[in-house]
A and B are shown apart, each in its own frame.
Chain A
Amino acid sequence: MSGFFKKNGSIISTFFLIAITFWLIFLILIPQLYMLDLSFRPNLPPLLRGGPDDVYTLTHYKHFVFGSETSKDAYNYVDIGVFVDTIGTAILVTIINLCFCYPIAFYIAKLATPNATRLLILALIIPFWINELLRSFAIRILFAGEGVINNLLLEMGLLDAAVNFIALDVALYTGLTYAYILLMIFPLYNALETLDTNQLEAAKDLGSSTLRTHWRIVIPHAKAGIASGSTMVFMLTAGALATPVVLSSPNTFWFTQLIYQWFNMNDNWSRGSAYSIILLVVSVAFVLLMMRIFRVTIGEVVR
């Protein structure tokens, strides 16, 4: 500690310490810990907090698993269903994004000329400077009942009646895939860029097929990028709120919307906290799983 002060001088050291403590303790650690604490407490009006009723309880987690005490079902099928749907869809979106982006990332990193590379990267970034809500809105214009796709298909005579893409969740899946595609491309591109082109040529000269080259050389080389891209896309999709708000049908719920409902409409903050903790635990578990599968460190995942 004294070495630290000696190295930076007292003024700067104090500044560093204040900034870092403020961030790590007051912005990251305490809010999360307090939320964790709140999720184990009953939902009380502010005046009763800290009183005799304010004891630790598992009601909110029980509610997630078994449902409210008045319901007849053995389990809380609605909430668990929403949760499983959300996670399943997020995994699906991640896989689609990975398959969709891999050829593009490979093309930009290895096949395109340097000038084309720069232009393509710029072209990739531009759509992502535009608000996620507005991008979802663009998808909604395409898929709405009187939207562009329906009108086009009807005029061409391919459809007899408008298809409700929003109720079929086509719009939601398209929007979610669209929303975070950049976060898949960039890690992949960064990883593939460092691949030595000579290796590809050597493989070709030795008679390996394109598919085999990719499976044995390119993909192993890009594994850090794959892990990083998949993690980011999964986390953001599972935790997405803007896209589901715009694109989900009235009878489809995203888990974050459920949290929002407990929190803002039902004013049950501790249950909202408990559901947030569930989402948080799943997200962190997914990161750890990816680190385990791809044998990468956390520093390689978040870049």
Chain B
Amino acid sequence: MTSNRTFQIFLGLYISIFFLYLFGPLIIMSVTAFNSAEFPSITPWECFSFRWFNEGKIAYDGQRLAGLAADRDLHVGLITSLFIALGVVTLSVPIGMSAAIVLTQVHSKLRTLFYSMSIMPVLFPGVVIGISTVVLWDRIATIGGEGIISELGRNGIFLTILGQTCFISTYCFLIFVARLQRFDTTQEEAALDLGASQTQVFMKILIPYLMPAIGSSAVIAFLASFENYNTTVFSILSEQTLTTVIATKVRLGISPAISALAFVIICMTLIAAVLYEFFRRRQEKKKALESAAKMYKEISSDRLKQDSKKAFILPKSIL
């Protein structure tokens, strides 16, 4: 009994340490965003201030340390990042979906080859994908001479979208494969038998069934693109995204303005997580209610049937 007790205490301690390790650095970073000192720290606490969220501070050597609201590079980077993320979502969701659907239709040997090829990009280091995209398109741009191809091939945003789509499509592909495994193909056959065209079947049956997967893969693709650094840093060329701006800032020296940015992102994440949990709970409740109502209906209709059967048995006395 005592050994069980010590085990419990030990386990509790271990889990606390684990979560402290996960959250501790983030909490401390958030706190440093509110210290007015030039170096992100807690212990010489100068004074509580929002300056790192607003205009920043002029350092003792006259250098201007911009706060969040005053930092133009960050704003430009943010807009570029959002644009790239949208581009990646519009490319990778349809690609992942098509590949997953086609995977259900090919067989045996070809299927293994196709599947292995599709998941390969996840096994490539991000830097490799970035570099290969850049070198290929630089060559294409050189051969293409003047004109649109050459311009595209040297456009960092375009290259970044292509490079990220290469591996983010695999994430989408895997989400769609998981969803399609539970798809009941008799639905399609029934629709075809009833005279629907293949396009109609696709639009009216498959797409609605895949809707949850489309939603979640779009979210995953957006997030993965938004936070990508390894591929982007190579393929972005002369442009800047949010992550490359952050990387440059961190390398130049650590400023509490980055803590402030992190604090904003952490808050947004927390709100998203709470909303997600809230909606999930509500949906689960709704589902539970629906299934209860359905069960009630079935039971009651069963009873009706039984009653009706009884009603059709003619009393013997009539005969």
Contact = CB atoms under 8 A, between A and B. Distances in A.
Kindly state the interface size class of chain A when it binds its partner.
35 or more
A181 B99 CA distance: 30
A133 B174 CA distance: 26
A166 B15 CA distance: 27
Interface in B24-73: 24-26, 28-29, 32, 39-44
B240 interface: no
Interface stretch (B229-237, B288-296, B308-316): B229-237
B293 to A, nearest CB: 24
Kindly state the interface size class of chain B when it binds its partner.
35 or more
A130 B125 contact: no
Given A8-B202, A242-B230, A107 B15 contact: yes
Interface string A151-179: 11001000000000000000000000010
A100 interface: yes
A144 interface: yes
A283 interface: yes
Contact of B99 (A20, A136, A242): A20
Contacts of A135: 25-26
A131 B227 contact: yes
B99 A137 contact: no
Q: B interface, by DSSP: helix, strand, loop or mixed? A: helix
Given A22-B95, A239-B126, A273 B117 contact: no
Interface in B222-273: 223, 227, 229-230, 233-234, 243, 246-247, 250-251, 254, 258-259, 261-262, 265-266, 269-270, 272-273
A123 B28 contact: no
Given A12-B199, A178-B21, A298-B119, A131 B132 contact: no
Interface stretch (A30-38, A57-65, A216-224): A30-38
Given A241-B127, A283-B124, A302-B122, A137 B262 contact: yes
B22 interface: yes
A32 B19 CA distance: 40
Q: A interface, by DSSP: helix, strand, loop or mixed? A: helix
Interface hub of A122, A141, A146 (most chain B Cβ within 10 A) = A141
Interface string A3-40: 01001110110011001101110011111101100100
Given A31-B132, A137-B258, A146-B39, A260 B246 contact: no
A93 interface: no
B117 A279 contact: no
B250 A133 contact: yes
Contacts of A240: 230
A20 to B, nearest CB: 5
A127 B22 contact: yes
A279 B102 contact: no
Interface string B125-161: 1111101110110110010000000000000000000
Given A138-B262, A148-B43, A242-B247, A263 B131 contact: yes
B77 interface: no
B191 to A, nearest CB: 12
B229 A12 contact: no
A104 B18 contact: yes
B217 interface: no
Contact of A122 (B22, B133, B277): B277
Cβ-closest 7 pairs across A and B: A239-B125, A9-B198, A31-B132, A138-B25, A138-B29, A19-B98, A35-B132
14 contacts: A9-B199, A12-B198, A23-B99, A27-B162, A27-B166, A31-B129, A107-B11, A131-B246, A139-B25, A141-B259, A147-B41, A259-B131, A276-B131, A302-B174
